[in-house]
Amino acid sequence: MATIAFVFPGQGSQSVGMGRALAEASPAAAAVFAAADAALGEPISRLAWDGPADQLDRTENAQPALLATSIAYLEALRERWAREGIAAPTPLFAAGHSMGQYSAFVAAGVISLADGVRLVRERGRLMQASGQGRDGAMAAILGLDDAAIPALVEAVSRHGVFGVANRNAPGQLVVSGERAAIDATGAIAKELGARKTIVLPVSVAAHSPLMAEAAEGMRAHLATIAFGDPSIPLLANADARPVLTADACRAELVEHLTAGVDWVAAVQQMAADGVDTFIEVGPGKVLAGLIKRIAPDATVISLDDPAAPDRLAVPFKE
């Protein structure tokens, strides 16, 4: 039997229609969406299924919609495994990319689904409000060698607050900070060997010190929520260290707002610890593409299968 990890996508994987076919075919998935709607006091499922896209893409909407859809995929998979008599493997890890950490925490029993969707709704609002008066921006850098990252950070930081938001895959970096620093990034990155720099169409500087107000706001909210020890080992976004207790989980959700996401380190750590099959739990295939570049010998399965009538791939069915 494969040694698996569940991995959960973050903001950017949302699309109008996500989860609709799944909920129509799976009572377990439909129950997740119903519970998320009840927790928020509004039909986030309708926004996920019908849009409009500009409203779904708003940070405070995208995050709870993504969490609900990811957990709907997880529960639909468990439902199918049970119905078809498939012995469900126990994941060696659960890991989330940025906001996907909340989905991983729900999957590992750290927080409830209801608390999860409410927390990411507040997270989105706080992120949008954080750093007001300091124009934030983000950019993707392609083709830069990892060895050049410290020099990039040192040089660009002379122009303003700046840092690495996401190390997504070899040669794929996302940086974040004040607009002046991001504007200076392209030329500096090119001098250091980058192939291309793309300024992203976002209005917040995620995973940067500009999110300090959001982090403190989340610290206050998280203090009111019941946390449990994870039933599945988790990894910190910033450095892939183990997150194994309720207190460590609470601290992680504060820290990762201002620290970067080292997805390369997380995948490498899971592979080194014996994971040979990564199952992407949620809409889209963003993480699958990244993992194939980080751990090319691993098997990667995305549950979102456009070829299936219910859009659910069922691993280990054969």
Residues forming the active site: 98, 207
Q: Residue 264 contacts by C-beta under 8 Å, 6 or more apart in sequence?
A: 167, 168, 169, 170, 294
Q: Return d(Cα 210, Cα 208) in angstroms, integer.
A: 5
Q: Return d(Cα 290, Cα 172) in angstroms, integer.
A: 9
**CA 168 and chain centroid, separation:** 11
Q: Return d(Cα 265, Cα 259) in angstroms, integer.
A: 14
Q: Residue 147 contacts by C-beta under 8 Å, 6 or more apart in sequence?
A: none
Which DSSP string do the residues of 174-242 spell out, in sequence order? EEEEEHHHHHHHHHHHHHTT-SEEEE-S-SS-TTSGGGHHHHHHHHHHHTTS-----SS-EE-TTT--E
DSSP-derived secondary structure letter, 313? -
DSSP-derived secondary structure letter, 167? E
Beta bridge partners of 4: 277
- CA-angle at 65, arms to 115 and 266, nearest 5°: 80
Q: Which amino acid makes up residue 9?
A: P
Q: Which amino acid makes up residue 189?
A: A
DSSP element (H, E) containing 138: strand 136-142
- Going by C-alpha positions, the residue among 73, 75, 63 that lies closest to residue 14 is 63
Q: What are phi and psi of 284, to 5 degrees?
A: 80, -175
CB 197 within 8 A of CB 189: yes
